[in-house]
Amino acid sequence: MDYLDGVELLPRRPHKGVWDVPLDDFASDPAGFQVALAEQDPDFIRVADAVITGPGGPIGAGRSDARLHALHKLLAGKGYLIWEGGDGVAKYIVRGRIRSFWEPITSGRISMTKDGVLYQMILPEGGNALRRLVVVFSAIHTNDNEASLWRYFPHHYQHLRGLTPGDTAILRIGDLGGVVGSFYGDTLDAPGNATAISALIARVIRSFEIPPAQVCLLGSSKGATGAVRHGVALGLPFVAADPVLGDQYYERSRDDAHFTGPEVFTSTKEAVFTQLLASERPTGARGVFLTSPQSPQHDMVAQYAQRLRRPTLLFDSSDYRITDRPWEPGAVLGPTIMAVNALILGWSLPEGTIEL
């Protein structure tokens, strides 16, 4: 059940069964596979091939096997997401079945809006009044080959409650969609996803009457992408540790490790963040970026921070633990939490760049 009152959930999708198909059936005739997929319209797909073995599972195998890589992307664009795999089989579930299938939702541990946004609302303890809000966007799972649906909603900054004032609520937002996530944007099967995420944040702020100046959007890596995207779109403060603001590096230098492109997404990140700059409303809300010269995202992050029409602070860390992806948020955890508290408490922060 959705946490927020007055939100009508979508009706459950009628059960449509399982479709078993060998990977080579797709590889030999992709067009015919798509026709058959439309005719079958299954809830679940099981794809069999010997390559889907080993500790990397179907996602790890898909990073190196061109057939499986292409199938992951095609099915993600059609709304089929990997929910399990290994021992020669990759299992996919259609997005419309997740609400009634995935135990964390059916048990009430996490919630899903009518638009399909995963979230968890954590209220202050001990009767403290709710005055502040931190919105945490999930990064890519610690195991970047995680084949369960939890890869869309790992919980980062797990000690945040004890590191912020007692009157602070925490709204965690998942990243359902794509192969390793939607990066909190629009995908072919969910073209209104970004709007739905922003609407959820705005609805929580409005429902609990939280002053926007006492809100902070927080994330690292992919989660930081969400914090910047929705912080700029909503005119809210944010703290972003090395956000991914472009696709080219991962597509060209890392063999499309994030499974991006037009088969899955409606726009590139470069186009999305350029448009956000053009439409930004200068509300005075502050933005804090953290990055490192060792990060391949460094120059893009630094340039974006300079171009925003809001007061910004950039922490530039040379910590030896930061070498490349995956980003190590623990290396900058101290200044990250300091910045979050400064924003929600209304403390002053400098502008410009601080080298760490």
Question: What's the CA dihedral at 275, 281, 282, 283 to 10 degrees?
Answer: -140
Once rounded to an integer, what is the mean pLDDT over residues 205-219? Answer: 97
Structure tokens at 154: 């790992």
Measured CA to CA, the distance from residue 269 to residue 266 in angstroms comes to: 10
For tokens 């969400």, the residue is 226
Whether 50 has a pLDDT exceeding 70, the answer reads yes
- Residue 326: predicted pLDDT: 57
pLDDT band of residue 4 (cuts 50, 70, 90) is very low
List, in order, residues 6 or more apart from 29 with CB less than 8 Å away: none
Average model confidence (pLDDT) across the chain: 91
DSSP H helix total and E strand total for the chain:
13, 13
Length of the chain: 356
- Residue 332: predicted pLDDT: 86
Cα 201 to its chain centre, rounded Å, is 14
Please provide residue 117's backbone torsions phi and psi, each rounded to the nearest 5 degrees: -90, 125
Tens digits of per-residue pLDDT, 286-295?
999 999 998 8
Q: Are strands 168-173 and 352-355 parallel, antiparallel or unpaired?
A: unpaired
Give the whole-number percent of the chain exceeding pLDDT 90: 79
Tens digits of per-residue pLDDT, 116-146?
999 999 999 887 889 999 999 999 888 888 9
Tens digits of per-residue pLDDT, 89-119?
999 999 999 999 999 999 999 999 999 999 9
Whether 239 contacts 156, CB under 8 Å: no
Whether 83 has a pLDDT exceeding 80, the answer reads yes
Measured CA to CA, the distance from residue 225 to residue 284 in angstroms comes to: 20
pTM: 0.92
Whether 78 contacts 189, CB under 8 Å: yes
Whether 251 has a pLDDT exceeding 70, the answer reads yes
